[in-house]
Structure formats: C-alpha cells, structure tokens
Chains A and B, each alone.
Chain A
Amino acid sequence: MLLIFLSFGAGIAAGLILKRKRDSLKEERALLISVVAMIFFMGASIGSDPNIKEYAASIGLSSLLFAIFMGLGSAGGAYVLRRLMPR
C-alpha cells in the first residue's frame, strides 16, 4: 500500500515539476502501453498458476456466478446510493 501511494505521489510531484514540458501524446501513449502491459502480465501470472486449470474445471461455474453477482451487487449498491443522495 505504501508503494502505491509513493508511486502515485512521486508521479504528481514529477507532473508538477515538469508541467511546462507537457507532451499529451507521449503521456497518452505511455499510459496505454503500461495499461496493456500490466493487464498482460496479470493475465500471464493467473495463467501460470498450476492449479488454475483444475480450479476452473471443477468450480468454474459457481465462481463465475459469484463474480457476476458480487460485481453487480456492488454496482447496484452504488446505484442505490446515487438515487438516495442525489448530488
């Protein structure tokens, strides 16, 4: 958690310092490349888990349903909050 805040804080500090040399095209490109690379490596680390195939075959359906219900449940909670407390 500390590394997360350090990386983000260092980025903000660097952005404030380098403000005059801003290059939005390079910024967008770096962001896109790092998002794609991060998702790729996350996927690769999930795929290289030796138990993942066994898990997926045996309890894949229940896990999938849990994933969908939990994700939609949280989004639904946020929707209810938005309706209860309009801006």
Chain B
Amino acid sequence: MGGIIIGALYPSEYYSAAGELMLYALLFIIGISVGFNTETLKKAVHVLDRRMLLLPAFSIAGAMLGGALAGLIFGLPLKISLAIAAGMGWYSLAGPMLSVVSPIYGSIAFLGNIGRELLTFLTVPLKKTGPMESIAMGGATAMDTTMPVITESTGREYVLACLYNGMILSSLVPLLIGMMLSLP
C-alpha cells in the first residue's frame, strides 16, 4: 500500500524497472538458499509429483469457473468473463488483449488480474491454505512476482513446483485468451 501511495504521489517510470531488478535479485537469493541446502533441492524434485503436474489444468478450470460466476453477477458476456479469467494473473497481457474488444473489458481484465496478484500477496502469508492452493492462487505469477511469498510461506521445496506451474500457465495464457475471445 505504501508503494501504491508513493507511486501515486511521485509518479516515475523507473519504479517498474526497479521492481523487475529486485525480482531478479530475489530469485538469485532464493537460488542461493536452495543451492546451500541440497536436501531442499532433492525435496523440490520429489514435490513435483503427478498432482503437481496436473495442477495448472485444475487451476485454469477453477479460475474459469470463478470468472464465469463473477461475470454472471455483473451481466458480462460469458466469453468475456472467461477471457478475463484466462489471464491467470498476467495483467500486462490480459488488459491489452481485452482492450481490443473494449477498453472497459480491458480495464476489468487489467485490474482484476492485478487484484488477483495482490490477493495472493495478502492471503498466502496467512498460511491458511496448503501449498497447492497457494501456488494455484498465484497463477502465472507463481514463477516470478508471487514466488518469493509462496515459497516463504509454504516451504522452499516448492520452488520448482512454482516455476513449473507459472511456466505452463504463462505459455497457455495468450492461447487461452485468444480461444475464449473467439468463442461465438
């Protein structure tokens, strides 16, 4: 919240680059702590079981269902609701892709997917959800921005699961949004 307020008061284009730089520094530090402890590395490989391999599919299905329900409440067309949900937290892609259809839908996709990321930041540290639920909630961002929060809350052995889930979802998001938008 402090960051949002400072950003609104003193806007600058460098915040985004600084945030990205911090992300890479953070991934480097997480990498060091995983490398320090080879046991964590072994556990990380062990954690990638068949359930984790199926997690992206269930995560997408759940988000689509949630998106469809939210769209139903606001009377949005089903294909638009599904396309917004198909963003899976990747707001910088979902927003512009939906803006082609309508700037309003683009804005909802942008803010909705930012909100999803913020929701992950706020709820995962409470440790009320299991590792799989936490990774699923992070969606495509589980491999970058939300990964530190998820691994700190659930255990560093889940780092590979985060990367796997985020990578699969990130590669599917552009296809999924395109597919949903092309629905009749």
Contacts and interface: CB of A to CB of B under 8 A. Distances in A.
B contact patch SS: helix
B32 A27 contact: yes
Contact of B61 (A30, A59, A77): A77
B13 to A, nearest CB: 8
B149 interface: yes
A16 interface: yes
B77 interface: no
Interface size class on chain B is 35 or more
Given A43-B4, A74-B62, A66 B112 contact: yes
Given A8-B163, A40-B3, A50-B11, A71 B31 contact: no
A31 B15 CA distance: 20
Nearest to A86: B51
Contact of B107 (A7, A58, A70, A73): A58
Interface residues of A, number: 68
A27 B67 contact: no
B35 A70 contact: no
Contacts of A1: 143, 167, 170
A67 B119 contact: yes
Interface string B14-34: 011011001111111111111
Contact of B70 (A3, A7, A34, A62): A62
User: Which of A5, A22, A43, A75 has most B Cβ within 10 Å?
Assistant: A75
B112 A27 contact: no
A38 B100 CA distance: 31
B60 interface: yes
Given A47-B9, A68-B66, A78-B133, 19 more contacts: A4-B27, A7-B27, A11-B31, A11-B33, A15-B33, A16-B38, A18-B35, A34-B148, A44-B12, A46-B7, A47-B4, A53-B8, A65-B70, A68-B115, A70-B67, A73-B64, A74-B63, A74-B136, A78-B136
Interface of A: 1, 3-5, 7-19, 22, 27, 30-31, 34-35, 37-53, 55-56, 58-60, 62-82, 85, 87
29 contacts: A4-B144, A14-B32, A18-B32, A18-B36, A31-B29, A31-B33, A34-B25, A35-B149, A38-B25, A42-B3, A44-B7, A47-B8, A48-B12, A48-B15, A53-B8, A55-B110, A56-B111, A62-B74, A62-B108, A64-B112, A66-B85, A67-B116, A68-B115, A73-B62, A73-B66, A74-B137, A75-B134, A76-B62, A77-B62
